[in-house]
Structure 1
């Protein structure tokens, strides 16, 4: 397994291994591997599920799997267009143009085709961008049929996110540590790295397959390097975590509105009185738009919302490492922001998005779109025509789904068009008698939306945990 690397499609990693426990203590890596590791934070959740499936690597994260499968199973007529469904199943990354230069690319996104008005037609031709050549310009109402291109990161300049020749230590639980640190001696002792009789140095050849395994393992294991390099095993699922243990947002069960009255989403829960669990919810398309949008979110955004929540794995350590990483090692503030404040690709948000995530901003400069506006101070900010309007005559619609529509959503996020037969089937499966149920109405604002997001990642019972469970008192006191 240990070998030298000569192929350009490989990255060489030196690892210090505990021979007795057959466990990786830490690895040493340069900027090529650091960039690959940090790029995990920019990948949308929907793309992570597709990536794991394409590599035959099982991945179960809370209720996210069921959510992804629901989108696949729903009739395409439920969506405003086929493109809207594809935006959820195969979302673009806002860092795609930079990640093209990774030495190992686990995601090889095709660049989306973008269009604008020809420069010869109108002076504002570079200020409005559409995803389809038959779009009408919002200003001149003419067809946007001139292709626009996004400028990719410069492959001749070393590094993608961090500077060339940057070197770090990475512990088995994904803590990224600069090698020159006064704390390293105590860290070596803590990790058991000081006894030369029980440790050995190995060099590994890392390919795309190992990188995917490392990503998947980091969701469910505290030792992803060991699992990937020394003893590859089937990956367990991430679910059943005690949701109440994290610093989670308190649920509002009274149904009273919070500050964002205009944005609140109404949800009717059907609850088992004896078990105190949500059997299912009857909801409008606005709630389904919200939970479906979880799959468009970059991993780094999700992790930032739950840095104090419980994890079976250690992927949260990667997020913390990026946030704490010394600024001098990043190529620029723009590259740091890509990791520490990841955004949606333009067009993937919608008007009633309660999660507070922004879309990436692009500028037009020298005939191309650029993501880093600081490159050219005279560049012009562009606006993207919402791609969800494609093929939909209803210009008042919001989100990915046609409106109006009613859905049944189970506690583990099985989403289906409303059906009494399905609702009765759910009650039978849960062994809940119809006399044991009651309806409760709750409202979802920004706080509840974030709580739903966190629950969908760490829990198998998102609606119960988001609306019926309360955080333990000690966790609440710690926040004060």
Structure 2
């Protein structure tokens, strides 16, 4: 992820105290889509065990507390607690809206006896199924070329020439005037004067709150940003 200015233009119904939808650019959409790429272990590390809903935090804590005597010799608990986040192509250039979680490194090895044996292992103590030599020759991972980067200089997941609409429940659609009017009818907005636009800037705190809201709420934008805006008014 990289440092990027990320903001949202919220359309708020002040009568119902609800965010109807937000207008967002590529940066915010890339961040939202990147959430799906995060392993569960990374979710828990970001939200802390105490902030987890349900029992996933207990599984995480159980692995932390379990003695390595109970693990198979080739199992490293760090690979479960700090899973590798590697997304080919799209994962680069995503805005930095979450704390960095150190991932355990993963190396790949091939047969040291013969390069013609097409086996790969992630443990240098593994034995080649063909010649039983150790799989100890280190391999380097090569990412696939990203067509978007090669031709347009863009990175991330979506194109930057489009403005996007993000619903309160984080449904993402391309923005259009017609869709905006349709939504106002769907929300049964009677008094347009009660609608208010607010631009909010997102940092790491808001990114983590959105991550938590995405797994426990159908009104993520309202839950995250309305309390923040009310607090700014009080100050």
TM norm structure 1: 0.40
- Measured in 1, the distance between the counterparts of 2:109 and 2:66 equals 33
1:172 is matched with: 168
1:311-338 deviation per Cα after TM superposition (whole angstroms, max 9, x unaligned): xxxxxxxxxxxxxxxxxxxxxxxxxxxx
| Cα distance in structure 2, aligned partners of 1:98 and 1:132 | 28
Quote the Cα distance in structure 2 between the aligned partners of 1:13 and 1:117.
Answer: 48
Q: Which residue of 2 aligns with 1:206?
A: 202
Answering whether residue 220 of structure 2 is matched by residue 220 of structure 1, we say no
Cα pair distance change 1:17/1:183, threshold 3 Å: closer
- Alpha carbons of structure 1 residues 189 and 159: separation in structure 2 relative to 1, 3 Å: farther
Partner of residue 62 from structure 1, selected from 54, 57, 69: 54
User: Are 1:17 and 1:26, in contact at CA under 8 Å, matched by a contact in 2?
Assistant: yes
Instruction: Report Cα offsets for 1:123-168 as digits up to 9, x if no partner.
Output: 437x433324444444442443233123166484414222332321
Match of 1:112 in 2: 105
Distance 1:212 1:90, change over 3 A: same
Corresponding position of 2:68: 76
1:129 corresponds to which residue?
Answer: 120
The alpha-carbon deviation at position 12 of structure 1 amounts to 1.7
CA spacing shift, 1:218–1:82, aligned 2, 3 Å: same
**Please, which of 11, 14, 29 is the counterpart of residue 16 of structure 1?**
11
3-state SS of 1:26 partner: strand
Contact 1:114 1:131 in 2 (8 A): yes
1:193 Cα shift?
A: 5.7
Whether the 8 Å contact between 1:99 and 1:160 is mirrored in structure 2 is yes
Q: How far apart in 1 are the matches of 2:158 and 2:107?
A: 29
RMSD over aligned CA atoms reads 3.3
Of 4, 22, 34 in structure 1, the residue corresponding to residue 29 of structure 2 is 34
Bigger-Rg structure (1/2):
1
CA distance in 2, matches of 1:70, 1:47: 16
User: What residue is the counterpart of 1:272 in the other structure?
Assistant: none
Separation in 2, partners of 1:185, 1:27: 14
How many residue pairs get aligned? The number is: 221
Unaligned runs of 5+ in 1: 1-6, 233-480
How much has 1:179 moved relative to structure 2?
1.6
Describe the superposition over 1:342-375 as per-residue Cα deviations: whole angstroms up to 9, x where unpaired. xxxxxxxxxxxxxxxxxxxxxxxxxxxxxxxxxx
Residue aligning to 1:43: 38
Q: Equivalent residue of 2:105, what SS? A: coil
2:136 corresponds, among 109, 133, 144, to 144
Q: Is the 8 A contact 2:97 2:203 kept in 1?
A: no
Partner of 1:61: helix, strand, or coil? coil
Q: In the alignment, what sits opposite 2:80?
A: 88
Structure with larger RCO (C-alpha < 8 A, sep 6+): 2
Counterpart in the other structure of 2:231: none
How many angstroms apart in 2 are the aligned matches of 1:111 and 1:213? Answer: 25
Q: Structure 1 segments of 4 or more deviating over 6 A?
A: none
- Per the TM alignment, residue 85 of structure 1 is displaced from its structure 2 partner at its CA by 2.2
1:171 & 1:99 partners in 2: Cα distance?
A: 23
Report which stretch shifted further, 215-224 or 84-93: 84-93
**SS of the residue aligned with 2:77?**
helix
Alpha-carbon distance between aligned partners in 2 of 1:159 and 1:202, rounded to the nearest angstrom: 28
Residues 1:102 and 2:98 are matched in the alignment = no
| Structure 2 residues not aligned, in runs of 5+ | 229-235
Mapped to 1, the partners of 2:176 and 2:69 lie a distance apart of 57
Matches of 2:36 and 2:66 in 1, distance apart?
29
| TM-score between the two structures when normalised by the length of structure 2 | 0.76
Name the structure 2 match of 1:333: none
Asked if structure 2 preserves the Cα contact closer than 8 Å seen for 1:99 and 1:105, the reply is: no
Q: Is the 8 A contact 1:116 1:147 kept in 2?
A: yes
